[in-house]
Amino acid sequence: MPEMPEVEIIKRYLDDKLVGKNIKDICIKLDRLIKYPSPSKFERRVKGKTISAVIRKGKYIWLEIDKGYKVIFHLRMTGALVYSSEGEVLDSARIVFSFNDSSVLCYYDTRTLGAVYCIATEETGVISALGNMGAEPLSKEFSPKYLANILAGKSTKIKTFIIKQEYIGGVGNIYADEALFLANIHPLRSASSLNSKEIKKLHKAINKVISEGIKDGGTTFRDYRNGAGEKGRHQEKLNVYARKGMPCTVCNTVIEKITVGGRGSHYCPRCQRINDK
DNA sequence: ACGAGCACCTGTGTGC
DNA sequence: TGCACACAGGTGCTCG
Protein backbone atom coordinates (compact mmCIF):
# COMPACT_ATOMS: atom_id res chain seq x y z
CA MET A 1 0.00 0.00 0.00
CA PRO A 2 2.15 2.78 1.13
CA GLU A 3 4.87 4.36 -0.92
CA MET A 4 7.75 6.38 0.45
CA PRO A 5 5.70 9.43 1.57
CA GLU A 6 3.25 7.27 3.50
CA VAL A 7 6.02 5.25 5.15
CA GLU A 8 7.85 8.46 5.99
CA ILE A 9 4.77 9.84 7.73
CA ILE A 10 4.47 6.66 9.77
CA LYS A 11 8.18 6.75 10.57
CA ARG A 12 8.06 10.32 11.88
CA TYR A 13 5.08 9.60 14.08
CA LEU A 14 6.47 6.38 15.51
CA ASP A 15 9.93 7.85 16.09
CA ASP A 16 8.29 10.45 18.27
CA LYS A 17 6.25 7.89 20.21
CA LEU A 18 8.36 4.75 20.50
CA VAL A 19 11.93 5.75 21.28
CA GLY A 20 12.84 4.62 24.78
CA LYS A 21 9.97 2.16 25.11
CA ASN A 22 10.60 -1.37 26.30
CA ILE A 23 8.86 -4.21 24.46
CA LYS A 24 7.28 -6.14 27.30
CA ASP A 25 5.39 -8.64 25.19
CA ILE A 26 4.66 -9.58 21.62
CA CYS A 27 1.66 -11.41 20.20
CA ILE A 28 1.98 -12.90 16.72
CA LYS A 29 -1.50 -13.78 15.47
CA LEU A 30 -0.40 -14.75 11.95
CA ASP A 31 2.88 -16.65 11.83
CA ARG A 32 3.46 -16.41 8.09
CA LEU A 33 3.97 -12.64 8.25
CA ILE A 34 7.24 -13.31 10.08
CA LYS A 35 9.68 -14.00 7.25
CA TYR A 36 12.85 -14.22 9.36
CA PRO A 37 13.81 -15.81 11.67
CA SER A 38 11.18 -18.32 12.83
CA PRO A 39 8.28 -16.80 14.81
CA SER A 40 9.57 -18.28 18.07
CA LYS A 41 13.11 -16.99 17.51
CA PHE A 42 11.67 -13.66 16.45
CA GLU A 43 9.80 -13.46 19.72
CA ARG A 44 12.91 -14.34 21.71
CA ARG A 45 14.96 -11.70 19.93
CA VAL A 46 12.42 -8.93 20.40
CA LYS A 47 10.97 -9.48 23.84
CA GLY A 48 12.42 -7.31 26.59
CA LYS A 49 14.36 -5.05 24.21
CA THR A 50 14.26 -1.26 24.20
CA ILE A 51 13.64 0.82 21.05
CA SER A 52 16.38 3.34 20.29
CA ALA A 53 15.21 4.69 16.91
CA VAL A 54 12.72 4.29 14.07
CA ILE A 55 14.30 4.30 10.60
CA ARG A 56 12.95 4.26 7.04
CA LYS A 57 14.63 3.32 3.79
CA GLY A 58 12.53 3.27 0.63
CA LYS A 59 9.31 1.51 1.63
CA TYR A 60 10.97 -0.36 4.51
CA ILE A 61 10.56 0.85 8.07
CA TRP A 62 12.25 -0.57 11.12
CA LEU A 63 12.73 -0.32 14.86
CA GLU A 64 16.29 -0.26 16.14
CA ILE A 65 16.42 -2.29 19.35
CA ASP A 66 19.09 -3.47 21.81
CA LYS A 67 22.04 -5.64 20.76
CA GLY A 68 22.02 -4.28 17.22
CA TYR A 69 18.80 -5.99 16.20
CA LYS A 70 16.34 -4.36 13.82
CA VAL A 71 12.64 -5.18 13.59
CA ILE A 72 11.97 -4.55 9.91
CA PHE A 73 8.55 -4.15 8.28
CA HIS A 74 7.53 -4.01 4.65
CA LEU A 75 3.87 -3.01 4.51
CA ARG A 76 3.34 -4.14 0.88
CA MET A 77 -0.25 -3.34 -0.15
CA THR A 78 -2.30 -3.04 3.02
CA GLY A 79 0.08 -3.09 5.97
CA ALA A 80 -0.30 -0.46 8.69
CA LEU A 81 1.58 0.30 11.91
CA VAL A 82 -0.68 1.98 14.43
CA TYR A 83 0.40 3.13 17.86
CA SER A 84 -2.06 3.54 20.72
CA SER A 85 -1.14 5.09 24.04
CA GLU A 86 -4.41 3.70 25.39
CA GLY A 87 -3.48 0.15 24.48
CA GLU A 88 -6.22 -0.17 21.86
CA VAL A 89 -5.97 -3.41 19.87
CA LEU A 90 -8.58 -4.12 17.17
CA ASP A 91 -9.60 -7.70 16.40
CA SER A 92 -7.97 -7.37 13.00
CA ALA A 93 -4.47 -6.82 14.46
CA ARG A 94 -1.96 -9.33 13.08
CA ILE A 95 0.93 -8.60 15.43
CA VAL A 96 0.84 -6.68 18.70
CA PHE A 97 3.86 -5.19 20.50
CA SER A 98 3.01 -4.28 24.09
CA PHE A 99 5.16 -1.78 25.96
CA ASN A 100 6.06 -1.36 29.61
CA ASP A 101 3.67 1.61 29.99
CA SER A 102 0.63 -0.29 28.58
CA SER A 103 0.75 1.47 25.21
CA VAL A 104 0.84 -0.75 22.10
CA LEU A 105 2.05 -0.86 18.52
CA CYS A 106 -0.24 -2.93 16.28
CA TYR A 107 0.60 -4.26 12.86
CA TYR A 108 -2.55 -4.46 10.74
CA ASP A 109 -2.64 -5.98 7.27
CA THR A 110 -5.89 -6.86 5.50
CA ARG A 111 -4.37 -8.74 2.60
CA THR A 112 -1.55 -10.17 4.74
CA LEU A 113 1.02 -9.62 1.98
CA GLY A 114 3.37 -7.74 4.30
CA ALA A 115 6.71 -8.94 5.60
CA VAL A 116 8.25 -8.68 9.07
CA TYR A 117 11.82 -9.57 10.03
CA CYS A 118 14.16 -9.37 12.98
CA ILE A 119 17.66 -8.95 11.64
CA ALA A 120 20.94 -8.98 13.55
CA THR A 121 23.70 -6.56 12.57
CA GLU A 122 25.60 -9.20 10.62
CA GLU A 123 22.53 -10.57 8.81
CA THR A 124 22.19 -7.75 6.27
CA GLY A 125 22.00 -10.20 3.36
CA VAL A 126 18.62 -11.53 4.49
CA ILE A 127 16.74 -8.73 2.73
CA SER A 128 18.65 -8.28 -0.51
CA ALA A 129 16.25 -5.63 -1.81
CA LEU A 130 17.28 -3.37 1.06
CA GLY A 131 20.92 -3.53 0.04
CA ASN A 132 20.18 -3.20 -3.67
CA MET A 133 17.95 -0.16 -3.35
CA GLY A 134 18.52 2.79 -5.66
CA ALA A 135 18.78 6.43 -4.59
CA GLU A 136 15.76 7.91 -2.89
CA PRO A 137 13.92 10.97 -4.13
CA LEU A 138 14.84 14.07 -2.09
CA SER A 139 18.27 12.63 -1.31
CA LYS A 140 21.49 14.26 -2.43
CA GLU A 141 22.38 11.16 -4.40
CA PHE A 142 19.20 11.39 -6.47
CA SER A 143 20.38 14.05 -8.92
CA PRO A 144 19.45 14.64 -12.57
CA LYS A 145 22.82 13.12 -13.40
CA TYR A 146 22.06 10.00 -11.35
CA LEU A 147 18.76 9.66 -13.17
CA ALA A 148 20.40 10.17 -16.56
CA ASN A 149 23.02 7.54 -15.75
CA ILE A 150 20.58 4.84 -14.73
CA LEU A 151 18.17 5.57 -17.59
CA ALA A 152 20.89 5.29 -20.22
CA GLY A 153 20.57 2.26 -22.44
CA LYS A 154 17.45 0.90 -20.70
CA SER A 155 14.74 -0.23 -23.08
CA THR A 156 12.30 -0.69 -20.18
CA LYS A 157 9.19 1.46 -20.32
CA ILE A 158 9.67 4.60 -18.24
CA LYS A 159 6.70 3.83 -15.98
CA THR A 160 8.06 0.39 -15.13
CA PHE A 161 11.50 1.87 -14.62
CA ILE A 162 10.40 4.47 -12.09
CA ILE A 163 8.76 1.97 -9.76
CA LYS A 164 11.74 -0.42 -9.77
CA GLN A 165 13.23 -0.08 -6.31
CA GLU A 166 16.73 -1.00 -7.49
CA TYR A 167 16.74 2.20 -9.59
CA ILE A 168 14.77 4.63 -7.44
CA GLY A 169 13.96 3.73 -3.85
CA GLY A 170 10.46 4.40 -2.59
CA VAL A 171 8.41 5.41 -5.63
CA GLY A 172 5.30 3.31 -6.25
CA ASN A 173 2.38 3.27 -8.63
CA ILE A 174 0.53 6.42 -7.57
CA TYR A 175 3.50 8.77 -7.41
CA ALA A 176 4.98 7.33 -10.61
CA ASP A 177 1.82 8.18 -12.56
CA GLU A 178 1.68 11.61 -10.98
CA ALA A 179 5.35 12.36 -11.70
CA LEU A 180 5.03 11.32 -15.35
CA PHE A 181 2.02 13.61 -15.70
CA LEU A 182 3.89 16.59 -14.27
CA ALA A 183 6.83 15.85 -16.55
CA ASN A 184 4.57 15.46 -19.62
CA ILE A 185 6.00 12.02 -20.35
CA HIS A 186 3.90 9.14 -21.67
CA PRO A 187 4.22 6.00 -19.48
CA LEU A 188 5.01 3.76 -22.46
CA ARG A 189 8.08 5.71 -23.57
CA SER A 190 11.29 3.71 -23.29
CA ALA A 191 13.62 4.85 -20.49
CA SER A 192 16.48 5.56 -22.85
CA SER A 193 14.33 7.71 -25.16
CA LEU A 194 14.19 10.64 -22.73
CA ASN A 195 16.31 13.63 -23.70
CA SER A 196 18.24 15.62 -21.10
CA LYS A 197 15.52 18.23 -20.80
CA GLU A 198 12.93 15.56 -20.10
CA ILE A 199 15.21 13.85 -17.59
CA LYS A 200 15.58 17.10 -15.67
CA LYS A 201 11.84 17.64 -15.79
CA LEU A 202 11.17 14.10 -14.58
CA HIS A 203 13.71 14.43 -11.78
CA LYS A 204 12.03 17.61 -10.60
CA ALA A 205 8.56 16.05 -10.92
CA ILE A 206 9.49 12.99 -8.86
CA ASN A 207 10.89 15.16 -6.08
CA LYS A 208 7.83 17.37 -6.22
CA VAL A 209 5.19 14.63 -5.98
CA ILE A 210 7.08 12.87 -3.19
CA SER A 211 7.64 16.02 -1.13
CA GLU A 212 4.02 17.13 -1.57
CA GLY A 213 2.83 13.67 -0.66
CA ILE A 214 4.75 13.93 2.60
CA LYS A 215 3.50 17.47 3.18
CA ASP A 216 -0.09 16.27 2.77
CA GLY A 217 0.33 13.39 5.18
CA GLY A 218 0.32 10.75 2.44
CA THR A 219 -2.27 9.45 -0.01
CA THR A 220 -5.17 7.36 1.27
CA PHE A 221 -6.80 5.64 -1.65
CA ARG A 222 -8.37 2.96 0.51
CA ASP A 223 -6.38 1.41 3.32
CA TYR A 224 -3.49 3.69 4.13
CA ARG A 225 -3.42 5.02 7.68
CA ASN A 226 -0.68 6.95 9.46
CA GLY A 227 0.85 5.90 12.76
CA ALA A 228 -2.17 7.26 14.60
CA GLY A 229 -4.68 5.43 12.38
CA GLU A 230 -5.70 8.52 10.38
CA LYS A 231 -6.04 9.01 6.60
CA GLY A 232 -3.78 11.17 4.44
CA ARG A 233 -4.94 14.13 2.38
CA HIS A 234 -2.93 13.93 -0.83
CA GLN A 235 -5.61 11.90 -2.67
CA GLU A 236 -7.49 15.19 -3.09
CA LYS A 237 -4.65 16.57 -5.17
CA LEU A 238 -4.05 13.71 -7.59
CA ASN A 239 -4.00 14.72 -11.24
CA VAL A 240 -4.26 11.33 -12.93
CA TYR A 241 -4.20 8.38 -10.52
CA ALA A 242 -7.66 6.84 -10.14
CA ARG A 243 -9.08 9.57 -12.40
CA LYS A 244 -9.87 7.45 -15.47
CA GLY A 245 -12.66 9.06 -17.49
CA MET A 246 -12.37 12.36 -15.63
CA PRO A 247 -11.12 15.61 -17.18
CA CYS A 248 -7.44 16.50 -17.08
CA THR A 249 -6.80 19.21 -14.50
CA VAL A 250 -4.73 21.09 -17.08
CA CYS A 251 -6.42 20.63 -20.48
CA ASN A 252 -9.76 18.91 -19.76
CA THR A 253 -8.92 15.93 -21.99
CA VAL A 254 -10.34 12.69 -20.59
CA ILE A 255 -7.78 10.77 -18.50
CA GLU A 256 -7.02 7.28 -19.82
CA LYS A 257 -5.95 4.11 -18.07
CA ILE A 258 -3.74 1.43 -19.58
CA THR A 259 -1.70 -1.46 -18.22
CA VAL A 260 2.07 -1.02 -18.15
CA GLY A 261 4.23 -3.77 -16.73
CA GLY A 262 1.13 -5.29 -15.18
CA ARG A 263 0.22 -2.12 -13.27
CA GLY A 264 -2.69 0.20 -13.91
CA SER A 265 -1.29 3.42 -15.37
CA HIS A 266 -3.16 6.68 -15.70
CA TYR A 267 -2.23 9.53 -18.00
CA CYS A 268 -3.53 12.43 -20.03
CA PRO A 269 -3.26 11.59 -23.75
CA ARG A 270 -2.84 15.26 -24.60
CA CYS A 271 -0.39 16.40 -21.91
CA GLN A 272 1.64 13.19 -22.21
CA ARG A 273 1.94 12.49 -25.92
CA ILE A 274 3.88 9.38 -26.83
CA ASN A 275 5.72 11.19 -29.62
CA ASP A 276 6.67 14.25 -27.60
CA LYS A 277 10.23 15.16 -28.12
C1' DA B 1 19.04 -9.46 -19.40
C1' DC B 2 14.38 -8.57 -19.61
C1' DG B 3 9.47 -8.86 -19.78
C1' DA B 4 5.28 -11.42 -19.08
C1' DG B 5 2.62 -14.00 -16.11
C1' DC B 6 1.53 -15.49 -11.95
C1' DA B 7 1.61 -16.22 -6.91
C1' DC B 8 0.86 -14.37 -2.55
C1' DC B 9 -4.09 -12.61 0.06
C1' DT B 10 -8.64 -10.25 1.30
C1' DG B 11 -12.10 -6.89 0.43
C1' DT B 12 -14.72 -3.96 -2.46
C1' DG B 13 -16.93 -2.31 -6.43
C1' DT B 14 -19.08 -3.38 -10.90
C1' DG B 15 -21.94 -5.51 -14.14
C1' DC B 16 -25.11 -9.00 -15.38
C1' DT C 1 -30.22 -10.02 -4.09
C1' DG C 2 -26.70 -12.87 -5.64
C1' DC C 3 -22.97 -14.25 -8.11
C1' DA C 4 -18.74 -13.84 -10.94
C1' DC C 5 -15.13 -11.16 -11.96
C1' DA C 6 -11.85 -7.38 -12.00
C1' DC C 7 -9.01 -4.85 -9.43
C1' DA C 8 -6.25 -2.73 -5.48
C1' DG C 9 -0.25 2.31 -2.66
C1' DG C 10 4.06 -4.39 -3.80
C1' DT C 11 7.31 -7.71 -4.57
C1' DG C 12 9.47 -12.00 -5.94
C1' DC C 13 9.40 -16.15 -8.45
C1' DT C 14 9.45 -18.98 -12.85
C1' DC C 15 9.59 -19.29 -17.53
C1' DG C 16 10.45 -18.17 -22.29
Strand B contact with A160 (CB < 7 A): yes
| pLDDT-derived band at A222, boundaries 50, 70, 90 | confident
What ranges in A37-156 are assigned the alpha helix state H? 39-46, 128-131, 144-151
Question: How many Å from the CA of A152 to C1' of C8?
Answer: 32
Q: What is the dihedral of CA A27, A96, A1, A16, to 10 degrees?
A: -140
Task: Give the Cα separation of A181 and A248 in Å (integer).
Answer: 10
- Each residue of A129-169: pLDDT tens digit? 999 999 999 999 999 999 999 999 999 999 999 999 999 99
- Each residue of A67-118: pLDDT tens digit? 999 999 999 999 999 999 999 999 999 999 999 999 999 999 999 999 999 9
Task: Give the Cα separation of A201 and A122 in Å (integer).
Answer: 40
- Nucleotides on strand C with an atom closer than 7 A to protein CB? 7-12
Which parts of chain A are beta strand (E)? Answer: 23-28, 34-36, 51-57, 60-65, 70-74, 79-84, 93-99, 104-109, 115-119, 256-260, 263-267
- The footprint of strand C (CB < 7 Å) covers A 1-3, 6, 58-59, 74, 76-77, 111, 113, 127-129, 163, 165, 172-174, 218-224, 262-264
Per-residue pLDDT at A1 exceeds 70: no
Task: Give the Cα separation of A81 and A97 in Å (integer).
Answer: 10
**Residue A164 CB neighbours (<10 A):** 17
Between β-strands A263-267 and A34-36, what pairing exists: parallel, antiparallel or unpaired? unpaired
Question: How many Å from the CA of A201 to C1' of C4?
Answer: 44
- Nucleotides on strand B with an atom closer than 7 A to protein CB? 2-6, 8-12
Question: How many Å from the CA of A58 to C1' of C10?
Answer: 12
- Each residue of A33-51: pLDDT tens digit? 999 999 999 999 999 999 9
Question: How many Å from the CA of A263 to C1' of B6?
Answer: 14
| Known active-site residue A3 | yes
Task: Identify the DSSP state of A157.
Answer: B
| Known active-site residue A2 | yes
Strand B contact with A41 (CB < 7 A): no
| Known active-site residue A136 | no
Which residues face A182 on adjacent strands? none
Task: Give the Cα separation of A217 and A231 in Å (integer).
Answer: 8
Q: Which of A57, A263, A270, A273 is catalytic?
A: A263
Question: How many Å from the CA of A197 to C1' of B8?
Answer: 40
Per-residue pLDDT at A275 exceeds 80: no
| Known active-site residue A59 | yes
